[in-house]
Amino acid sequence: MTRQSTRIHYLGPQGSFTHQAAIESAAEASRRLHMDVADFEFVACDTVPQILHAVELGQGWGTIAWENNVEGFVVPNLDLMMDAADAAGFLRVGVNVRFDAFVTERTYRHACEQYASEIAVDDAQIPARDNANAYGAASTPPTIDELAIRDCTAVCAHSHGLAQCRRFAREHGLKPVPAASNAAACRDLQDFQIALGPSICANIYGLHRVAANVGDFDGARTEFLTIAPRSQVVERLRIPRSDPKTEFESVIAFIPLVTGPGVLANLLDVLRDAQLNMVSLISRPVKGRDGTYSFLATLDAAPWDERFVNALVEICEHGDWVRTLAVYPRDERNYPTVSEWMLPAGGVRFEGEPHMANWRESADVRKELLW
């Protein structure tokens, strides 16, 4: 009897970072849920709402981008999960994000012709003493890759990809053009444009790589959630939940129905008193209602832990809206520090005690704190 495969829907087309994350999700399901990697089928979707729709219809799982360590949370996906009728996250995987720059075959051929034309200017036309200055300040002619980039006027990628490669676009005078995904930008690339995407896209879409690793930051990484109908999430987590050594992380959404001084502080007090470690806290506006917000907290615990249950009961009985958006097994957490060089320019920070007794009167302090 043939076993039925589990579909994992991802933001396509083939070769996208989300495609890579979907493959990683299958491996994570094998490790955490004791499922066979061979039993998964990967289905490309054009948009994230299509992924969510397929999940809510019971057609399989979905993999969606959740958080990036350069640009932060993927807000449209976060909002979709807040409003989802029947979906929650139960696995989380990370993909290292490295952007290469690609051009079409025609763009590259045009650059090759330019290169051949420039190289054809030989010593008979340029005296040896002037050869070093034949190309302006540079001592050597531009490469074919450099000529191809010079021919382009626009750069295409997902909005987060464009945001992570601003320097490359600025240095080459390229107009940013957003695409549904980085792989879609590669698939649909026009002549004399540049697409940014994973290195695998060169082979998949027959493109030429003209620059590698063009992101503004090394070490960029995007975290993805694997989502399923909420009843399936409870069932799928049965195996890791039965192992007392497994640690979990949860994403909880809260909406206080009243506003005013102390409302958020009181909510956070409940989580603190339950000794729940909060990894992150962000806010989103309640749509169309000025001054009202939803809050999403990522916490180092599972919502069925007794201390967590008690905290959620107290918040619910207070009258606030609460929902678990995701709960997933996590590896042992390390607690990184922020190095001096990572801090933005300006601001106020002391190492140990302030070195001046009257530091509050310092012109720099007053400038930064707007005193």
Shared-domain flag, residues 335 and 353: no
* pLDDT for the residue numbered 353: 75
**Which residues are within 8 A (CB) of 109 and not within 5 positions of it... i.e. 6 or more apart?**
none
Domain-terminating residue out of 211, 228, 256: 211
C-alpha 159/C-alpha 239 separation (Å) is 37
Q: Given this model, what pLDDT does residue 332 score?
A: 83
The answer to whether residues 92 and 224 belong to one domain is yes
In this structure, the answer to whether residues 296 and 229 fall within a common structural domain is no
Residue 321 sits in the same domain as residue 263: yes
The region, left, alpha or beta by phi > 0 then psi within -120 to 50, assigned to residue 346 is left
Note whether 86 and 117 are same-domain residues.
no
In the block, residue with structure tokens 């382009």: 152
Look at residue 206 in the predicted model and tell me its pLDDT: 96
First vs last Cα of the chain: how many Å apart?
74
pLDDT the model gives residue 320: 95
Q: Tell me: the pLDDT tens digits for 303-320?
A: 999 999 999 999 999 999
Range of the domain at 352: 345-369
CB 166 within 8 A of CB 160: no
Asked if residue 204 and residue 105 are part of one domain, the reply reads yes
Residues 356 and 329 in one domain: no
| Residue 254 and residue 306 in one domain | yes
The CA–CA distances, whole Å, from 40 to 11, 24, 346 equal: 16, 11, 50
User: So what's the pLDDT on residue 333?
Assistant: 79
| Spatial contact of 325 and 252, defined as CB atoms under 8 Å apart | yes
What's the CATH code of the domain at 274? Answer: 3.30.70.260
Q: Domain check: are 334 and 351 in the same one? A: no
Beta-strand ranges (E) seen in 69-214 are 72-73, 88-96, 100-103, 154-157, 175-178, 193-197, 208-211
Q: Are residues 86 and 226 in the same domain?
A: yes
- CATH number, position 135: 3.40.190.10
Residue 123's pLDDT is what?
A: 44
Residues 131 and 196 in one domain: yes
Cis-peptide into 13, omega within 30 deg? yes
Per-residue pLDDT tens over the stretch 184-199: 999 999 999 999 999 9
Same domain, 82 and 127: no
Parts of the chain with a pLDDT under 50: 1, 122-124, 126, 128-129, 131-135, 137-138
Domain count of the fold of the chain:
4
